Structure 1
Amino acid sequence: MRSAARPTGNVAAPDSGRRVSAKVAVCGVFVAANFVAIMDTTIVNVALPALGRGFGVEASGLSSVNVGYLVAMAAFIPVSGWLSSRFGTRRTALTALLLFTVASGLCATADSLAALTGYRVLQGVGGGLLAPVGMTMMLRAFPVAERLRAQKYVMLPTAVAPALGPVLGGWLVDSASWHWVFLVNLPVGVLALLFGLWTLPDFPGAGAPRFDVLGFVLAGGGLAAVLFALTRAPDRGWESGHVLVPLLCGTMLLVVLVPWELRAEHPLIDLRIVEDQLFRTTQMSLLPMGAAFLGVLYLYPQFLQDGLGFDAFRSGLATFPEALGMLAASQVVSRLHDRVGPRRLMVTGGAGAAVIAVYLATAADGSPSLALYPSMFLLGCCVGLLFASGQNAAFVTVPASRMSDATTVLNMQRQLAAAFGVALAGTLVRAGSGAGYRVGFLTMAAVSLCACLLALRVSDRRVREGYASPVS
């Protein structure tokens, strides 16, 4: 499958005056920015009890701190592609990073729950713009033949940040105060900004057409409403009006979005990108795997605390081997991809994740053992096999002119998958009483198996053709 692919339109034009290569610059900024944005979805959870004591608010009243961040992130993912075309990827990425960093500092100074929620919304706006534009820059900086080598860096935030968040958050709250959960973002953000201002190249688009206002309302509003409902479903119940109304409204907006964007003269998101067979089939497998993975990451630390008596910090440490497994898988994929092909790697990853989830279900049934720790490492390996090979294959046949649309669609489905996985897992735990964890792990195993079966449709032949004749 390996070929001597020449750099195409995906690669930045060389800049002889630049002291750092485009690849190093994009990797450095993207990894750092995406790391803090992803970590912020989990690190704040540990600080919620301290926030409640500080603001004199019951735990049940603190949901706006996380919901505001997630909803704002979801609402602004769809607009990132248009902004990149209008202002260039460099300006969009650095502005988003600046907004996220400033908002992090403001969060640490908040003196009320209302102020903190508002600052978290600003954080979410920056985080929502960062992931798609950063991924677009990575894909355009590296030609097709080199993207697998870049995966080991791209996987770092996805693998480590969600697992590190609870561990780091617990330590900061215990040893200092809740303010440091937000202050920890500042040095990373400032250094990434300075490095980006000095080195980051620009990947200008073809020029932005008229802004698709209705498309933004349908895509951003629909995605935000669905995520709002999913984040509240485990606590409020699916039959609650606070869940059912936004879920139905958001779903209707997303359904209407499809015909509108297909007919619009200048769509905000060109949904015809899903006509690319390789992109479509890989997304169909990545969606359930993302839901299952985040569902297990939600269930596992709670099971350790409720079932085995671990404290929050120790349960975070016990979950961390998952991150090491994903990083190990990114090394393996780059070596096996050409000989084995992405389809077999994805199928193996999905099947392995299902087996491990079944094992966790047996452990949750009352027979814990030391094997729980290496099981998380193996889970990370399996999920990493599917993610690394699937994300690489997804963009092989996508031309540079469509890259923003492809990364926007991928990040939208990633947010939906994560929210659905956590909502489903949380609902099963609460509805299953003593057997809730067992039912939850078995359900995640079934979802992983679906990802495995859908991966059978990924075409190794199309990937080989894409490597031999990279699109421009």
Structure 2
Amino acid sequence: MAYRNKIALVYLLGFALDLVNMFAAAIAYPAISQELQASVTQLAWVGNAYMLGLTLIILPSVWLAAVFGEKRLIMASLLMFSVASWCVAQSATIEALIGWRLLQGLAGGLLIPVGQALVYRHFPVRERARLTSVILLVALLVPALSPAVGGWVVQAGSWRWLFYANLPLALLALLLAACWLASHPRPASRPALSYQSVAVGALNMARLLKSPLLRVAMLTYLFIPGIFIGTQLVSILYLHQLGLSPAQTGALMLPWALASALGISLSRYQFNRLGPKPLLVLGMTAQALGIGLLTRIDAPDTWLPIALYGLMGFGGSLCSSTAQNTAFIDITPEHMGHASALWNINRQLSFLLGPALMMALYGTLTAITSTPHAFALCFAIGCALTLVPLVPVLRLDTSRVLALLAP
């Protein structure tokens, strides 16, 4: 197996671990609440603590990689993740569980930016579309499957086994990292971590934003996935009002997932030939149409919800895949660490701000107008926000991008 493929496999295992712990833990909330006497607020922090850890560690990850080396840091983070998972499963109180979830998030947060920088540095520009499609297929399948598998684990055993189940995957990734990743000598002089070094890291990230490709990719990712997640939360309320059962609403993620796979495949096979502009325009248009037409659903037993969720899945994943391909095209290997950290900060912001914005918007609109008008206005605004990156996307220089992609 080629060295770059070995790196990619280690990264994908770490990425899958991160996604499982983001999406599967919520299945265990009722059981955790019952056994540990946890309030609703405390249960929310079971997820929030993990997300907080993921976000806080991103900026220092560049410095830590420079000091300890990427292999040592990835191995240390996998070991820390394993220990934290064991301790979460052993928690006797909700406070202890939340604390160990924070440590779990810190460990998982190191895996993603450091592993992503390492793997993208070793893949030639023209082969990154294939790499990105595999990464996003993992990002598609794990959230789709982990709640169902997690529910079966909790029902068959205990919520604690949901976290014990992390250990085989984490230890496998640790073993492969130890065997496969190349070691590099420790630097002769270690950069000291200080407010100044953090400021320098932030400045280096800001300088990377001079790249129009990275700027457009980040703007696209900030709006498209986040707005879809927020719209989905509002649409659940809307579909419930129309009479769809929870099972029927949940089943709509199946056409979303199938259409998402189609969007990812289109980006994989056409990115090097067409460049990002036509793919991003097509993706934004599809997601905007899907969101904008949600209020046309007037009965629970029509084909329209399936079609609209398919449109949103195709458009959103086409944009996400194309944006990630675009982000690192003109980033030099020595700046890949900072670019990866910046990308992942932006990714976290998208997932946090999009849902918060759409739910706050819906709450505000219901206070000033009738419920049907609130849904209609909310979806119209979501449609408009999806198209925010359109102007900078249209200004992209396709000939320059294709030249960078040339072998």
TM-score, scaled relative to structure 1? 0.77
Q: What whole-Å deviation, never above 9, does each CA across 1:200-252 have from its counterpart, x for those lacking one?
A: 235789887633422687xxxxxxxxxxxxxxxxxxxxxxxxxxxxxxxxxxx
Q: Does 1:419 align with 2:352?
A: yes
Task: Give distance in 2, aligned partners of 1:180 and 1:374.
Answer: 37
Q: What whole-Å deviation, never above 9, does each CA across 1:73-119 have from its counterpart, x for those lacking one?
A: 11101111111222222221222222223212221111110110011
Match of 1:39 in 2: 20
Q: Give the residue type in structure 2 aligned to 1:196.
A: A
The 1:385/1:309 distance shift into structure 2, 3 A limit, reads closer
Partner residue of 2:400 out of 459, 462, 467 = 462
Q: Does 1:442 align with 2:384?
A: no
Task: Give distance in 1, aligned partners of 2:269 and 2:205.
Answer: 34
Match of 1:323 in 2: 257
The runs of 5 or more residues in structure 1 that have no matched partner are 1-19, 218-260
- Relative to its length, the structure with more helix (as a share) is 2
> How many Å apart are 1:457 and its aligned residue?
2.8
Task: Give distance in 2, aligned partners of 1:457 and 1:44.
Answer: 42
Match of 1:371 in 2: 304
Match of 1:284 in 2: 219
Task: Give distance in 2, aligned partners of 1:56 and 1:216.
Answer: 43
Match of 2:339 in 1: 406
Task: Give distance in 1, aligned partners of 2:165 and 2:239.
Answer: 27
Q: What whole-Å deviation, never above 9, does each CA across 1:163-211 have from its counterpart, x for those lacking one?
A: 3343333333344332233233222222222222222235789887633
The 1:324/1:183 distance shift into structure 2, 3 A limit, reads farther
> How many Å apart are 1:458 and its aligned residue?
2.7
Give the alignment of 1:288-367 within 5 angstroms.
288-301=223-236, 303-304=238-239, 307-311=242-246, 315-363=249-297
Task: Give distance in 2, aligned partners of 1:360 and 1:157.
Answer: 28
The runs of 5 or more residues in structure 2 that have no matched partner are none
- Give the conservation status (yes or no) of the 8 Å contact 2:243–2:300: no
> How many Å apart are 1:148 and its aligned residue?
1.2
> How many Å apart are 1:281 and its aligned residue?
2.4
Q: Give the residue type in structure 1 aligned to 2:78.
A: L
Task: Give distance in 1, aligned partners of 2:11 and 2:110.
Answer: 12
Match of 1:275 in 2: 210
Task: Give distance in 1, aligned partners of 2:147 and 2:378.
Answer: 21
> How many Å apart are 1:449 and its aligned residue?
1.3
The 1:368/1:333 distance shift into structure 2, 3 A limit, reads same
Worse-matched range after superposition: 385-394 or 319-328: 319-328
Match of 2:315 in 1: 382
The 1:25/1:214 distance shift into structure 2, 3 A limit, reads same
- Give the conservation status (yes or no) of the 8 Å contact 1:206–1:401: no
Q: Give the residue type in structure 1 aligned to 2:316.
A: V
Give the alignment of 1:4-19 within 5 angstroms.
none
Secondary structure in 1 aligned to 2:6? helix
Task: Give distance in 1, aligned partners of 2:189 and 2:253.
Answer: 44
Worse-matched range after superposition: 436-445 or 90-99: 436-445
- Give the conservation status (yes or no) of the 8 Å contact 2:242–2:300: no
- Give the conservation status (yes or no) of the 8 Å contact 1:39–1:164: no
CA RMSD, 1 decimal: 2.7
Match of 1:65 in 2: 46
The 1:62/1:215 distance shift into structure 2, 3 A limit, reads farther
Task: Give distance in 2, aligned partners of 1:361 and 1:29.
Answer: 43
The 1:40/1:374 distance shift into structure 2, 3 A limit, reads farther
Q: Give the residue type in structure 2 aligned to 1:467.
A: L
Worse-matched range after superposition: 51-60 or 196-205: 196-205
> How many Å apart are 1:413 and its aligned residue?
0.9
Give the alignment of 1:198-209 within 5 angstroms.
198-202=179-183
Q: What whole-Å deviation, never above 9, does each CA across 1:318-349 have from its counterpart, x for those lacking one?
A: 32443333332222222222332211101110
Identity %: 28
Q: Does 1:102 align with 2:37?
A: no
Worse-matched range after superposition: 393-402 or 159-168: 159-168
Partner residue of 1:155 out of 117, 131, 136 = 136
Task: Give distance in 1, aligned partners of 2:20 and 2:385.
Answer: 24
- Give the conservation status (yes or no) of the 8 Å contact 2:74–2:115: yes
Q: Give the residue type in structure 2 aligned to 1:352.
A: A
The 1:309/1:329 distance shift into structure 2, 3 A limit, reads closer
Match of 1:111 in 2: 92
- Give the conservation status (yes or no) of the 8 Å contact 1:159–1:322: no
Secondary structure in 2 aligned to 1:380? helix
The 1:105/1:93 distance shift into structure 2, 3 A limit, reads same
Match of 1:232 in 2: none
Q: What whole-Å deviation, never above 9, does each CA across 1:276-314 have from its counterpart, x for those lacking one?
A: 222222222221113213223434455555654534x66
The 1:463/1:427 distance shift into structure 2, 3 A limit, reads same
Task: Give distance in 1, aligned partners of 2:177 and 2:283.
Answer: 35
> How many Å apart are 1:416 and its aligned residue?
0.8
- Give the conservation status (yes or no) of the 8 Å contact 2:67–2:191: no
- Give the conservation status (yes or no) of the 8 Å contact 1:99–1:123: yes
Partner residue of 2:69 out of 73, 82, 88 = 88
Task: Give distance in 2, aligned partners of 1:381 and 1:37.
Answer: 24
> How many Å apart are 1:147 and its aligned residue?
0.9
The 1:392/1:355 distance shift into structure 2, 3 A limit, reads same
Give the alignment of 1:185-224 within 5 angstroms.
185-202=166-183, 210-214=191-195
Secondary structure in 2 aligned to 1:350? helix
The 1:96/1:373 distance shift into structure 2, 3 A limit, reads farther
Q: Does 1:170 align with 2:151?
A: yes
Secondary structure in 2 aligned to 1:79? helix
Q: Give the residue type in structure 2 aligned to 1:145.
A: R
Task: Give distance in 2, aligned partners of 1:102 and 1:386.
Answer: 36
